[in-house]
Amino acid sequence: MTFDAGTWWLLTVIVTTVVGLVGFLFGRSVFRQLDENRADIKQVRENYTPRDDHQKDLERLRTAHQKDVEALRREMKEMRTEMRTEIRQMSDDVKDIKENCIRREEFVSHQLKLENKLDRLMEFMMKQGGN
């Protein structure tokens, strides 16, 4: 089989067209992907903060948390001291009540004795008034 100049020219044009078409499609695909990557990189640069900034924020939060914990500990210590003082005072008050006051049962007992005496006195006066 022999090819003349026209056949070689046609074959060259077809091969060149196919190579050009494949190159164009490959280039279009690659450049589209590059454009998408550039857009993603731009979005990352605009929307995200550097790691150092996060570390600074984290340290600031830790410091604030430590201060809050220390303040809470001081407050709890003050509350414990205040509670102990109040408990001691209440204990002293209870001791004072036990020493200086009478119980309900004792009060009722004394009231009954007094009523009995008043009843006897009334009976005596009624007997004397009748004589």
Mean pLDDT of the chain: 87
Q: Name the pLDDT band for 115 (thresholds 50, 70, 90).
A: very high
Residue 130 has pLDDT above 70, yes or no: no
Contacts of 110 (CB under 8 A, 6+ apart): 102
Pair 41, 49: CB distance under 8 Å: no
Question: What are the tens digits of pLDDT across the range 67-90?
Answer: 999 999 999 999 999 999 999 999
Pair 3, 11: CB distance under 8 Å: yes
Question: What are the tens digits of pLDDT across the range 40-59?
Answer: 888 888 887 777 877 888 88
3-state secondary structure string, 38-51? HHHHHHHHHHCCCH
69 SS3 class: helix
Predicted structure pTM score: 0.41
